[in-house]
Amino acid sequence: MPPQEAALPSSGVYPDLDVVVIGAGFSGLRMLYEARSRGLTARVLEAASDVGGTWYFNRYPGARTDSESWAYCFGFDKRLQEDWDWPERYPSQPQVLSYLRHVADRFDLRRDIQFDTRVRSAVFDEEHDVWVVTTERGERLVSRHLVSASGLLSVPYEPPFPRLSSFRGEWYMTARWPHEPVDFAGKRVAVIGTGASGVQLIPIVAATAARLTVFQRTANYILPARNYVLHDAQRQAIKANYDAIWEQVRRQAMGMPMNPANRVLGDVSPEEHQRILEAGWEEGGFRYFLETFDDIFVNPESNALAAEFVRNKIRTIVRDPATAELLCPKPDHPLGAKRPPLGHFYYETFNRDNVELVDVSGNAVDDITPTGVRLADGTEYEADVIVFAMGFDAMTGSLTSVDVRGRGGVTIAEKWRGGPRTHLALTVDEFPNFFMIAGPQIPFANAPVMIEPAAEWIGEAISYTREHGHTRIEPTAQAVTAYNEQCETFFNATVFPAGEKIRSWFVGANIPGKPHGVALYFGGYPNYIREVRQEAEEGFTHYRFSAVRDARPSVGVAGS
C-alpha cells in the first residue's frame, strides 16, 4: 500500500505504529532500517520530496562533505559497502544524495516514508503512553514511540533584514538552494557569511561572476581540504579494508578514519613543531589538527601555535597584505572555537581581481536595499544577486520549531529554555518514549558514525521496553543532570568556551536571543560510545519504565 494511502487518521488512542520517525536523511533512513529489522512498524515523515535531509536542501554550488568519503557512510551492511564506489576524497552534494537514494532503494525504505509531509506537532498522551503526531497536511498518527531524526543543522537562520523584499535582484539562501541552476556569469554577486557553507560557495561564484563581494564578520581558520579523485586501486583498497577503517573510526576522538598523533606539543622541539604542522597542512582537512598534536584543543599553547601557523599561511597565500590581515582570525579566537571549515582554494580566491572582501565586524550589514547591501555607516554595495550563507539554528532548532510536548504539556522549547539538556544526546526527561538521533549533546564527530550507534541503541531501548511488558521508557532527571554536567566539564576543559564571544553555534551563540548551553559532547567519540553501550548492556539502569493497563499491540499499518 503506498504510504500516503496508509496514513489514515487514527480513530483512537491505540498506536497505529510502533515508531514515527521525523526526517529521512542519514538518521531517518538508518532508524527505519533498524526498526524494520526488529519487526517494528514505522513510518518516516519527511518535509522534502525525496530522501537526503541536509543533503537534499543544501544543494548550493560547491557543497560537499568535510569528512572523508570512506567513513561518511553506513557500516551496517557489508554488501552496501561493496557495491558503492566513492569517486572523491570528499563527496559532493550530488554524490552524497545519490548514495542516500541508493540506500533507500536498496533496502526498499521508500514504502514507509511519507514525503512532502511536515510535522506540525507531537504531543505525548500520558494516559495511553502514545505520541499523537499531527502533520501540516492535517493527518494524525498515533505511535508508541517518536524518534526525531530531523537534523542538527537543518533549520536555517533566515536573513534578518527588514527590507529584503525590496531587493530588485535575485537572492538565495545556501541552505534552501533552488533545484534549477543559478547563473552568476557576468553578475555582481554579494555573499554574506563565511562559515563552512560560504567558504565552499565563494570560489565557485568567483569563477564566473563579474564581481564578487564577500561580507565577513568573523575571520575563521579555513583549512585546505585537498580533495582528490579516488582511482580504482584506492577504491578497491577502501573496500578491502572496511573492517580496519571502522576499527580506526571507533578509536578516533572525532570518529574519523585517522590515527591519533600520539604526541603533544611538549614532546618535540620547536623546529619539529613547524615540520609537523606543515605535514598536517599538506595532508589537508581535519588531519591538520587531528594528526599533528593531540593537545591542540586542550592546551592553549599548542592551539596558539597551530593558529599562528594558519595565519602565516594566509599571509603567504593572499597577495594583498590588508586583505590577508582581514582574513586572519583574531588572537581571541582559538582554532576550533568555531567549527573550522575546509576550503577548496578559498584564500587563493581573494587574489582574483573580481573579488573584494568587506569587513563588517565593526560596521554591520544594516539592511538590504532595492539595489544591494547597505552597511551601518551608510556605505552601499550594489548587487544583482545576494547569497545568504548565515548558518543554522543548530542542534535544537529542528525540535524547538515544532510543537513537541511531553508530560504535563511541557514543550521542548520550555524544557530547553536554559540550553539543551539530554541523556546521552538520545533522550530527555519528561519526554517519555521520545528519542533523538544526532540530537543536542552528541559528540563533536563525523555524523554517520554517530548515527549508527544511536539508531541501534534506540532500537534496543524500544525492544527492551516491549519485551519487558512496558509501554513507557523515560530517563531519570538525575541521569540528564549528570550527563549535562559531564558535557559542561568536557567543554570547559577545552579552548572552545571562547566560542561564546565569537558567536559559535557550539553553544547556540550564533542566533540572536537563543539560550546558550553546551550543545556538544567533547569527551571524544570512543568514550561516548562506551557510555552508550554500557547503558544498553546494563539494562537501561538510568531509565524508568511503566505500563498502561490495557495496552494493545500496535496494528502496524506501515511496512505491510
Residue among 215 and 543 whose Cβ is closer to ligand N01: 215
Residue among 150 and 427 whose Cβ is closer to ligand N01: 150
**Nearest distance in Å: CB 159, ligand N01:** 8
The CA distances from residue 493 to 26, 162, 334, 486, 509, in Å, are 31, 40, 14, 11, 19
**Nearest distance in Å: CB 339, ligand N01:** 3
Number of helices (H) and strands (E) in the chain: give both, helices first: 18, 22
Closest residue by Cα to residue 475 from 405, 548, 545: 545
**Nearest distance in Å: CB 372, ligand N01:** 15
**Contact between 341 and 220 (Cβ < 8 Å):** yes
**Nearest distance in Å: CB 336, ligand N01:** 11
Residue tagged 557543497 (cell numbers): 63
**Strand extents, DSSP E, 292-448:** 342-343, 355-359, 365-369, 372-375, 380-382, 385-388, 403-405, 434-436, 442-443
Q: In what helix (H) or strand (E) does residue 36 lie, and over which residues does it extend?
A: helix 26-37
Q: What is the largest CA-CA distance in the chain?
A: 74
**Contact between 83 and 238 (Cβ < 8 Å):** no
Residue 500 DSSP SS3: helix
**Nearest distance in Å: CB 194, ligand N01:** 4
**Contact between 556 and 471 (Cβ < 8 Å):** no
Residue among 133 and 230 whose Cβ is closer to ligand N01: 230
Amino acid letter, residue 334: P
Closest residue by Cα to residue 19 from 4, 5, 33: 33
Residue among 196 and 451 whose Cβ is closer to ligand N01: 196
CA pair distance 33, 76, nearest whole angstrom: 10
**Nearest distance in Å: CB 289, ligand N01:** 15
**Nearest distance in Å: CB 361, ligand N01:** 7
Residue nearest to ligand N01 (CB): 195
Residue 211 DSSP SS3: strand
Residue 59 DSSP SS3: coil
The three three-digit cell numbers of residue 477, written as one number: 532527571
Residue among 153 and 256 whose Cβ is closer to ligand N01: 153
CA pair distance 69, 449, nearest whole angstrom: 12
Residue 18 CA to chain centroid, in angstroms? 27
Residue among 42 and 337 whose Cβ is closer to ligand N01: 337
The three three-digit cell numbers of residue 512, written as one number: 540572536
**Contact between 520 and 487 (Cβ < 8 Å):** yes
Residue among 192 and 245 whose Cβ is closer to ligand N01: 192
Rounded to a whole number of angstroms, the CA Rg of the chain reads 24
Residue among 196 and 277 whose Cβ is closer to ligand N01: 196
**Nearest distance in Å: CB 447, ligand N01:** 9
CA pair distance 160, 552, nearest whole angstrom: 49
CA pair distance 197, 66, nearest whole angstrom: 11
**Nearest distance in Å: CB 197, ligand N01:** 4
Residue among 327 and 365 whose Cβ is closer to ligand N01: 365
Report the first-to-last Cα separation within the chain, whole angstroms. Answer: 7
Instruction: Provide the angle, in degrees to the nearest 10, between the axes of the packed helices 26-37 and 447-467.
Output: 30
**Nearest distance in Å: CB 207, ligand N01:** 19
CA pair distance 185, 196, nearest whole angstrom: 23
Residue among 214 and 480 whose Cβ is closer to ligand N01: 214
**Nearest distance in Å: CB 146, ligand N01:** 25
Residue among 97 and 479 whose Cβ is closer to ligand N01: 97
Residue among 70 and 543 whose Cβ is closer to ligand N01: 70
C-alpha angle 490-496-502 in degrees, rounded to nearest 5: 150
Residue numbers of the site for ligand N01 (CB under 6 A)? 64-66, 153, 192-198, 200, 215, 217-218, 339, 360, 365, 389-392, 503, 505, 510
**Nearest distance in Å: CB 107, ligand N01:** 25
